[in-house]
């Protein structure tokens, strides 16, 4: 079971007069990178929120948006900075006296000046609010995990199809590989017949031809690479069948698969095998891009 790192989740909870709305958005990232936007009243819960998200989502760049509303009128109070009000009022009166203009500073304008009014929340029970908020966060995470699973299942199916494609190409290469040496032997023998006269042919030692073919066969042998690819493909299917975080394991395995394919291409010395290798490399690159989105 695979999970994508791309997803969205929303949670909404109401407790008495308090309403919590939490929205989560995530994209792929090597680690769990969390950015939280929330009212200052919940600053005390920052570490707890981050731990909850990290424990459940594991990886991804996660943007968290928290909105909070308390319909209880006693929840917040507005305080007036009396000293600052007098200072602004006196300053306006002084300006009016100096310029001969009317003092038309109204209360609405005076209240709009910086720091004249301040909003403060009544004393809160941090444990209680923290528990309520985490409940809403968990609800949003549940929604995100469901979406991540749907996306992960789609990625998983596509990756498995591409693994099938790699196995087919590997089998084609394995079937072609023994023919490469025989073709080389035939070409070399024909070339010798073209270059040597009948008299020279009598003195030509066929063991030299056999030795040259043996050296070529050793140089282009890809049996070990093909065997390791079979093992890597089987291991990839085992990893993809597991539950939980798969991305890092698959990323390492794809590097190993790519290494064997590169070695096969460099040793094969055959145009048909080279074409199959190029197709395998393209398929591996497509898999690599997809697993970047897996948790």
Give backbone dihedrals phi and psi of 238, rounded to 5 degrees, phi first: -65, -45
CATH top class, domain 7-72+124-149 = alpha beta
Residues 6 or more apart from 251 whose CB is under 8 A from it? 288, 291, 292
The residues facing 32 across adjacent strands are 60
Q: Is the pTM of this model over 0.75?
A: no
DSSP 202-244: HH--HHHHHHHHHHHHHHT--HHHHHHHHHHHHHHHHHHTSSS
pLDDT of residue 231: 97
* Range from 89-103, 228-242, 249-263 carrying the lowest mean pLDDT: 89-103
The residues facing 19 across adjacent strands are 14, 69
pLDDT of residue 213: 53
Per the structure block, which two tokens stand in for 32? 């769990």
pLDDT of residue 177: 87
Q: Where are the domains of the chain?
A: 7-72+124-149, 82-115, 150-291
d(CA 265, CA 167): 16
- Of the candidates 35, 92, 89, which has an alpha carbon nearest to the alpha carbon of residue 60? 35
Q: Over 80: is that where the pLDDT of 273 sits?
A: yes
pLDDT tens digits, one per residue of 115-166:
888 877 666 788 999 999 999 999 999 999 999 999 999 999 999 999 999 9
- Comparison of pLDDT for 191 and 261, the residue scoring more: 261
The proportion of the chain whose per-residue pLDDT surpasses 90, expressed as a percent, equals 58
Mean pLDDT of the chain: 87
């Amino acid at each position: 079971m695979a999970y994508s790192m791309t997803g969205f989740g929303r949670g909404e909870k109401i407790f008495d007069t308090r309403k919590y709305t939490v929205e989560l958005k995530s994209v792929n990232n090597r680690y769990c990178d969390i950015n939280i936007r929330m009212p200052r009243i919940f600053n005390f819960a920052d570490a707890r929120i981050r731990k909850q998200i990290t424990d459940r989502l594991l990886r991804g760049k996660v943007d968290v948006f928290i909105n909070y509303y308390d319909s209880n009128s006693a929840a917040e109070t507005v305080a007036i900075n009396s000293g600052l009000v007098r200072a602004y009022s006196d300053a306006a009166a002084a300006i009016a006296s100096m310029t001969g203009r009317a003092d038309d500073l109204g209360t609405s304008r005076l209240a709009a000046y910086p720091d004249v009014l301040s909003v403060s929340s009544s004393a809160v029970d941090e444990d209680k609010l923290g528990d309520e908020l985490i409940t809403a966060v968990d609800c949003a995470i549940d929604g995100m995990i469901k979406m991540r699973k749907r996306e992960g299942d789609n990625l998983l199916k596509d990756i498995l199809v591409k693994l099938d494609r790699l196995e087919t190409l590997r089998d084609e290469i394995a079937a072609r590989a023994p023919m490469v040496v025989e073709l080389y032997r035939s070409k070399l023998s024909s070339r010798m017949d073209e270059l040597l006269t009948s008299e020279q042919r009598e003195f030509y030692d066929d063991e030299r031809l056999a030795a040259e073919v043996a050296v070529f066969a050793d140089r282009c042998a890809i049996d070990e690479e093909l065997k390791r690819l079979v093992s890597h493909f089987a291991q990839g299917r085992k990893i993809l069948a597991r539950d939980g975080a798969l991305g890092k394991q698959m990323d390492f395995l794809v590097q190993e698969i790519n290494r064997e394919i590169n070695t096969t291409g460099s040793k094969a010395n055959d145009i048909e095998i080279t074409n199959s290798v190029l197709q395998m490399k393209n398929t591996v690159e497509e898999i690599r891009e997809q697993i970047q989105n897996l948790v």
